[in-house]
């Protein structure tokens, strides 16, 4: 049987699957990473090196965890329900549920998603009478999360000035509020789980003894705290198996630390990683381009992707005069590909910034081509679903103040802001929840009395019902269906509410714990099982970040200009350029068979006309791999286009030194593009657009420009 599991693996994959002890697997894009992970788990279990209960596997998405479990079920005749396989947050939630008393949490603690957390911060600032212009709720929220993700409580934060000291005080007040209400945010799940293991030696030793093998997917995306959590779980006899790709580390803004890979090797005493370099996705032309671009980064662990799939077609490069022409080129190319038999869903258009999609969307819409912006609002994030979940949260725990505030007057019951302020004051003075305050005050307010009866009735009616019926009753009794029937677009919201019962049914059939509390935790943790949008064939539009982990037959990478990709913000940050280059590497390796790259001389972005030089990444791709496509000459400069964005209208003259659109170099600002002229004679000025500093006017007689 073992030979059947290992059959078909290439030599490097086989070495990874059967590696003794701890190992770091450097898995290039399209190299069979998921197959290696799942096969290793199956091999360890089948060869009796570990029992299913003695294994823990960490993924970065619920989708990846489900795929891993599905593959395992096909490989081995085992029940995968009890396996500890999931995301960091999901596993921490499981750990805290099991040891809620040791963690200082109520058994039915609720999880705040990002929106609920922001609401909690706003409520705190209001109670404390904090100036929200100075201490913006989102910035306070970010401050709290950044410190938690760095493993710091408020008493450990270094405050250097009155502003940061006040932020630290708000951090402490926020933690106290969450403790009173029995709720935790996402960052708290990991931090509290880490603290629990760090201070409780008996509990830590129990799990270190239990988990003899720990496997981690996408290791390059782990934060310092996540790696510290893993090390606490790993005992002296635990084998840590990490799979990742330092060339695809693109989430530094989320706290990911690519340096964890080098630290892991030192901690585990590993001389070399196991490298998976054979790519099963792309033609060699695409891989050679990706290898060439990423080679510009220093401090890599080092690998070059290769394939036996063949050379494939050259990469097509298109230079447009502006973003409208670029979008038009993309649309025409897609139309031609579709005529040749390529399905729309096999095509992806990638861009660095969300704002770039506007011109592409407009061109696709005008041409009548179907498209979908990938990563739309998710099911559990839709307003009507969050309202329904708030009613269910109150059925599980009426002390949940955030859920109370979301629906106490939705649908409207005549409960105004003054009533809520009175309740809040009473709750704070008495040290109890808003629900308790409402129960005490219900006799004085008809709306409150009706709400209290509604929740009490909902709790009683659902007490012994199976989860799907709980969801159905919650939606019906809430009054949400009746409310949305009166709305212009209420039909779509009602369909979503009806789908909530289906979601509860699916969860109940798949989960070891089909309780309401577990379902509510699942809803808060879920990150994309119910993507927005129809299932019909459509061109996929997305940022490069969103494209991570996906692959397509044909890929268009647009907007390859200095200041856009690489992004100007990253160019001013330490390590920013290297992360942008890794992002370009990810973009290139999404393509299986055909790749188009494009840039524009000028584009409208954020309401401003930008002039851009071609991205340095274009120059890093060997010319032999690229076929330049013909394009129309740059259009003549027109005064209305300049006037429409507030630029002074230049007056062209026959004896001007550079043509508009010419590339020039300035001794201080570097390379730029000539955008126009103004004035005549000794007062003549030239307008040059630079990627990093924007547009600059110079007096022609004094500026030192050289042609590129």
Q: Give dist(CA 196, CA 95) in Å, integer.
A: 9
What DSSP element (H or E) covers 260? helix 260-268
The span from the CA of 593 to the CA of 591, in Å, is 6
Contact at 8 Å (CB) between 85 and 59?
A: yes
For residues 515 and 468, give the distance between their C-alpha atoms in angstroms, rounded to a whole number.
Answer: 10
> Among residues 681, 683, 684, 664, which one has the least CA distance to residue 673?
664
What HEC string does 134-194 produce?
Answer: CCCHHHHHHHHHHHHHCCCCHHHCCCCCHHHHHHHHHHHHHHHHHHHHCEEEHHHHHHHHH
Instruction: Please identify every residue annotated as catalytic.
Output: 33-34, 217-218, 248, 590
Helix H or strand E segment including 474: helix 467-478
Considering only the C-alpha atoms of the chain, give the largest distance between any 2 of them, rounded to a whole number of Å.
89
Which of 690, 587, 555, 593 shows the shortest CA–CA distance to 352?
Answer: 587
Distance CA 221, CA 260 (A): 9
Written as one string, the DSSP assignment of 339-387 is HTT--GGGEEEEESSGGGHHHHHHHHHHHT--EEESS---GGGSHHHHH
Of the candidates 164, 194, 4, 11, the residue with the CA atom closest to the CA atom of residue 92:
194
Q: Do 235 and 56 form a contact (C-beta atoms < 8 A)?
A: no
Q: Which helix (H) or strand (E) holds 694?
A: strand 694-699
What is the distance between the alpha carbons of residues 16 and 37, in angstroms, rounded to a whole number?
9
Are 526 and 93 spatial neighbours (Cβ–Cβ below 8 Å)?
no
E strands, 204-254, are 213-216, 239-244
Edge-first strand listing for the sheet containing 706-707: 694-699, 685-690, 670-678, 663-666, 706-707
Q: How far apart are CA 218 and CA 256, in angstroms?
A: 10
The answer to whether residues 20 and 49 touch, using CB atoms and an 8 Å cutoff, is no
């Amino acid at each position: 049987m073992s030979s059947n599991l290992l059959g078909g693996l290439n030599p490097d994959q086989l070495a990874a699957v059967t590696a003794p002890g701890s190992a770091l697997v450097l898995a290039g894009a399209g190299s069979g990473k998921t197959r290696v992970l799942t096969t290793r788990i199956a091999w360890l279990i089948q060869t009796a090196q570990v029992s299913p209960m003695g294994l823990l596997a960490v993924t970065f998405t619920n989708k990846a965890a489900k795929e891993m479990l599905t593959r395992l079920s096909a490989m081995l005749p085992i029940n995968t329900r009890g396996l500890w396989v999931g995301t960091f947050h999901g596993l921490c939630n499981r750990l805290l549920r099991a040891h809620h008393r040791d963690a200082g949490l109520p058994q039915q603690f609720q999880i705040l998603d990002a929106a609920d957390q922001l609401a909690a911060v706003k409520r705190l600032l209001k109670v404390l009478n904090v100036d929200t212009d100075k201490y913006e709720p989102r910035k306070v929220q970010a401050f709290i999360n950044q410190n938690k993700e760095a493993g710091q409580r408020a008493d450990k934060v270094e405050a250097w000035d009155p502003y940061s000291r006040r932020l630290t005080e708000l951090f402490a007040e926020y933690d106290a509020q969450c403790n009173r209400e029995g709720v935790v945010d996402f960052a708290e799940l990991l931090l509290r789980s880490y603290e629990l293991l760090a201070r409780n030696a008996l509990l830590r030793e129990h799990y270190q003894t239990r988990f003899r093998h720990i496997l981690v997917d996408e290791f390059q995306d782990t934060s310092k705290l996540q790696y510290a959590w893993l090390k606490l779980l790993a005992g002296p006899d635990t084998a840590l198996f990490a799979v990742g790709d330092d060339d695809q580390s693109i989430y530094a803004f989320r706290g990911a630390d690519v340096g964890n890979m080098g630290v892991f090797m030192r901690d585990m005493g590993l001389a070399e990683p196991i490298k998976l370099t054979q790519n099963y996705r792309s033609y060699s032309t695409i891989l050679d381009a990706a290898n060439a671009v990423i080679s510009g980064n220093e401090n890599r662990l080092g690998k070059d992707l290769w394939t036996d799939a063949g050379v494939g077609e050259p990469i097509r490069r298109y230079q447009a005069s502006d973003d409208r022409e670029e979008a038009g080129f993309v649309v025409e190319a897609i139309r031609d590909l579709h005529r040749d038999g390529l399905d729309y869903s096999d095509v992806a258009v990638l861009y660095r910034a969300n704002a770039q999609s506007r011109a592409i969307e407009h061109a696709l819409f005008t041409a009548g081509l179907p498209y979908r912006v990938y990563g739309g609002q998710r099911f559990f994030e839709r307003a009507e679903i969050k309202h329904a979940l708030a009613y269910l949260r109150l059925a599980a725990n009426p002390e949940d103040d955030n859920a109370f505030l979301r629906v106490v007057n939705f649908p409207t019951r005549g409960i105004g802001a003054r009533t809520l302020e009175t309740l809040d004051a009473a709750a704070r003075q008495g040290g109890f929840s808003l629900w308790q305050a409402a129960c005490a005050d219900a006799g004085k307010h008809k709306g409150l009395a009706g709400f209290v009866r509604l929740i009490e009735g909902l709790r009683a009616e659902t007490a012994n019902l199976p989860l799907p019926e709980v969801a159905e009753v919650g939606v019906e009794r809430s009054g949400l269906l009746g409310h949305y029937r009166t709305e212009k677009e209420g039909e779509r919201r009602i369909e979503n509410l009806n789908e909530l019962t289906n979601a509860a049914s699916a969860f109940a059939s798949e989960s070891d714990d089909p309780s309401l509390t577990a379902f509510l935790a699942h809803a808060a943790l879920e990150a994309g099982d119910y993507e927005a949008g129809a299932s019909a064939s459509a061109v996929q539009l997305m940022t490069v970040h969103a494209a991570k982990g996906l692959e397509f037959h044909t890929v268009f990478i647009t907007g390859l200009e200095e200041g856009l990709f690489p992004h100007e913000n990253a160019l001013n940050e330490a390590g920013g350029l290297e992360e942008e280059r890794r992002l370009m590497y990810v973009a290139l390796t999404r393509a299986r068979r055909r790749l188009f790259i494009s840039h524009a001389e000028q584009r409208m972005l954020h309401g401003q006309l930008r002039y851009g030089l071609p991205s340095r990444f274009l120059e890093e791709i060997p010319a032999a791999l690229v076929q330049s496509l013909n394009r129309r000459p740059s259009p003549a400069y027109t005064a209305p286009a300049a006037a429409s964005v507030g630029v002074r209208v230049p007056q062209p003259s026959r004896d001007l030194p550079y043509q508009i659109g010419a590339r020039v170099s300035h001794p201080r600002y570097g390379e730029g593009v000539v955008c126009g002229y103004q004035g005549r004679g000794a007062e003549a000025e030239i307008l040059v657009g630079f990627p990093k500093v924007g547009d600059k006017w110079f007096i022609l007689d004094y500026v030192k420009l050289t042609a590129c």
